[in-house]
Structure 1
Amino acid sequence: MKKALILTAVSFSLLFSAASVSLPGSASAAEIYATHGDSIVSTATSYIGKVRYHFGTRDSQHLVFDCSSFTQFVFKQNGINIPWGSSAQTRFGTPVNSKSQLSIGDLVMFSVSTLGRINHVGIYIGNGKFISNVPSSGVVISDLNSGYWGSRFITGRHY
């Protein structure tokens, strides 16, 4: 019995230490996420000038979305299922409360009203910029730190 316990302990030890070993040519979790984030951003930017905005709409056949159905559409094309609705999307993933901690591909949530309620969502693309679908222009890249959006950031979500 004692010998079996020792063998089991050694097996688990080897299993967990092997799981943390990085083989030559294999990607770390951070590298995998960075690549995935780049893919999400690439997908989103490919729709600049091709998508129309309509509140409460999720029409992928005609490329008509609101902000959250656009992020849902982009994430789904990259194998990640998220709900429709900017406030619903805050319930998934890991919170990112500081702009300085955002990673490429993270969702960014904003309040566009005086209530402080999350009611707009976009995708962080790096260098203080994000991409989202807005009523006046469709899919656009905006500055996270200045202009209209500078004071409206509430949180981000890392998937």
Structure 2
Amino acid sequence: MGLVVFALWLLAAPLLVVVTDETYWSGPPDRLCKGKPGAVYREPRTTDSEVSYEQLKHLLSSSSVQLFDVRNPDEFKAGNIPGSTNVPLGDLQEALGLSPDQFRQRYKVRIPDKEDGNIVIYCQRGCRSANALDIMWPLGYSRARHYPGGYSVWIQHQEYSFTEE
């Protein structure tokens, strides 16, 4: 009887599930990735919203990408993907509401067109860039994509390519 009561108690007890940032990323978590309270990083809605390392390299070599880094300015200054423009995640919605002249004056590049299919967003590990898509898509930038590996994967590829030469 005691075993049955214990088994019933176990079934009725709330489950405690611990999810850490390491569940989604290798290496240390991106401490600056702040979603909504209680939100957990989720994969983008479709794989069409992602750009691989190889795709990003091709886009950069053909100069056919508008690459935006949504990390903080100090992170951007410490290292970034060449050709990218820093628009911190906290400023993104306001930035996309600027006039073309204001955007160019502030960021030194043209404001992306909503129909552009060459907009790529990245951050350190992919969380903030996924959050950036959640900001951009409702504003009409439905073709914007992100580089889910972020700068951390980019730099790993760069370091690896130097050791191979």
Give your verdict on TM over 0.5: no
| TM-score where L is the length of structure 1 | 0.26
Task: Return the structure number with greater strand share.
Answer: 1
Task: Return the structure number with greater helix share.
Answer: 2
| TM-score where L is the length of structure 2 | 0.25
